[in-house]
Chain A
Amino acid sequence: MSDVDFTFEGAPMCADAGQTIAAALMGHGVMSWRTTRFAGRPRGILCGIGVCYDCLITVNDEPNVRACVTRIEPGDDVRRQDGVGR
């Protein structure tokens, strides 16, 4: 499997090609990457199949990307998301 280089909060990371963003982050021990918009509580993977919208993350300045169903791509700039992300 070829490696995919990306950054999370500016830090270089590496993933397997074809992995989702969620899988790539969890492979590095990152379990939470968003806070809720009212209470600021931590969120990561819940359903894992694109339904619950709990795993939202900002990728290349685009907010509200579902980490569980979006493939990591070379050079992706992945950022934590607070609230609505805008």
Chain B
Amino acid sequence: MRDAPSNTEVLRSLVERIRQGDTEAEGELVCQFSQRIFVMGFVRTRDREASRDLVQDVLIAVIGALRKGQLQDSDKLPAFVHGTARNLINNRMRNESQRPSLEPLSEDLAQSGTVEALENSERLELVHEALQDLGEDDRKILWMTLVEGRKPADIASILGLTPEVVRTRKVRASKRITEIVQSKLSRSPANLPHRKRE
């Protein structure tokens, strides 16, 4: 029995298939990287629209380069996608008005990374529910950490706790939310394997 292919083999095969013009492989690339590009763009710019545009622009540039066989070492595909995204963000920030107009992704490819998938609205909803179920102090700790950017020692002095307790509660609360959300997402119909139509 053959072991599951390693990540290196998967990337090599993906890059090679795209070079040969396999559109299904291009769809897999879109699925694998669109959310990462969106998150990177959003964290850097805090601009949803610009981040959505960035996803399209990066994927068009990467797929174009892969079709032409411009990536020599397929192991470096994630770094290549990241480098392309970083360059495009930097260019855009340097000069918004001189942005080159790129041809949009084909409809099939664009649908592989719809806005809903990029922002993952189901995850956001589940996170909201899980946060509501947390104790008030734990929610305050997360709020002061992730929104106000306070450090554990600072939070500890406000809430009358020790910094160590704040750190422990923060990690515990984050893990609890992650577990709840991932368990619910794994049971979600959208994530169940599709049955073949009979």
Q: Do A and B come from one complex?
A: no
Residues of A participating in the B interface, judged by any CB pair closer than 8 Å: none
Residues of B participating in the A interface, judged by any CB pair closer than 8 Å: none
